[in-house]
Amino acid sequence: MKKILILIPIFNDWESLKKLIEEINENIKNYNDFYFECLVVNDASTIEQPKITKPSHFKSLEILTMKKNRGHARCIAFGIRHIFKNKIFDNLILMDGDGEDRPIEIKSLIDKMIENPSLSVVAKRVKRSEGIFFQLLYQIHKFITLVFTGRKINFGNYSIITKSDVGKISSKASLWSSFSGTIKKNLNTINEINSVRGLRYFGPSQMSLLKLLIHSFSIIAVFKNQVFLRSVFMIIFLSLLNSSLGIFSTIFQILIVGFNLLIFIVSRRENEQDLIKSHENLHNIKNITH
């Protein structure tokens, strides 16, 4: 019987987590050829953890509490590395804990994985639930990413990853900054399912405009070498058009240089040593038995 681990990072969203694991439990109950374990990484929440019950179809439920809050991306990176180093498993499902990664789509991820067990599967966003302004920013992010990296990245954290692929990314410095960028850079072939971004179970989104920008730049920064090379060609091309574009050519060149500077600064968030030592931030592990 194969084992699937479910990794959920959490910060203060305890009520959402309780509802999420109940819905996960309902959606995995018919997979008799698998058994499921769940690891929740509590990123040093400031709200006291309520009583949480282990669902009936979970073989185990562990809550790993961190000493210091390191942020969502680094919480994920720690969890992936911890699982690869300490757990026996066949596949890893990664999902957010607020309800925006819809539990009903776990069935689509698992079914797609069963079709080709050697390939990891990501949830491609075909519809989002956020407001018009956020969706506009997301489309701009995808366009800029494509222009400067040549990569189309239309998925987030929601995915089911093979053990082999977990091993490939578990020591990559970029994982400390961006999961989706690391997946796109290091896995040559992945499968995908169509996914609808759900609504948060409780409360407003914790994603501020600043966090959104950092998230976007972190993905692009994984491909900083390609960004630099493409930018050089853009600047050369624009310089040839100085006579026809005039001051606009100069403005675009300055913007490209500034963009590269921002990407370089954000790329410094990637840190292999911090990733390798991330276990030092682990405070305790609580096994929920009933």
Backbone angles phi, psi at 37, to 5 degrees: -125, 145
Q: What single DSSP character describes residue 188?
A: S
Mean pLDDT value across residues 208-231: 88
Q: Is the pTM of this model over 0.85?
A: yes
Q: Tell how strand 121-127 and strand 155-162 pair up.
A: antiparallel
Residues 235 and 279 reside in one and the same domain: no
Same domain, residue pair 120 and 247: no
Mean pLDDT of the chain: 92
* Residue 121 and residue 228 share a domain: no
Residue 34: the pLDDT is: 95
Same domain? 229 vs 277? no
Contacts of 107 (CB under 8 A, 6+ apart): 27, 28
pLDDT > 90? residue 211: no
Cα–Cα distance for residue pair 81/174, rounded to 1 Å: 13
Question: Is residue 146 within 8 Å of 152, Cβ to Cβ?
Answer: yes
Please indicate, yes or no, whether residues 57 and 105 belong to a single structural domain of this protein. yes
For residue 279, how many C-alpha atoms fall within 13 Å in the half-sphere facing its CB? 10
As a whole number, mean pLDDT of residues 193-207 equals: 81
Split into its structural domains, the chain has a count of: 2
Q: Is residue 141 part of a domain?
A: no
What is residue 238's three-state secondary structure? helix
Return d(Cα 83, Cα 70) in angstroms, integer. Answer: 18
Q: Say if residues 158 and 190 touch (Cβ distance below 8 Å).
A: no
Same domain for 251 and 165:
no
For range 84-105, the mean pLDDT? 95
For residue 209 the two structure tokens come to 């405009």
Q: Are residues 104 and 161 in the same domain?
A: yes
Q: Does position 243 have pLDDT exceeding 90, yes or no?
A: no
- Host domain of residue 162: 2-130+154-204+272-288
Residues 6 or more apart whose Cβ sits within 8 Å of residue 281 = 66, 67, 68, 70, 78
pLDDT tens readout for residues 28-86 = 999 999 999 999 999 999 999 889 999 999 999 999 999 999 999 999 999 999 999 99
Q: What residues form DSSP beta bridges with 42?
A: 10, 65
Say yes or no to pLDDT of 213 above 90.
no
In 10 A of CB 65, how many CB atoms?
18
Asked if residue 277 and residue 249 are part of one domain, the reply reads no
Domain containing residue 66: CATH number: 3.90.550.10
Tell me the DSSP string of 62-114: EEEEESS---HHHHHHHHHHHHHHH---SEEEE--SSSSS-GGGHHHHHHHHH
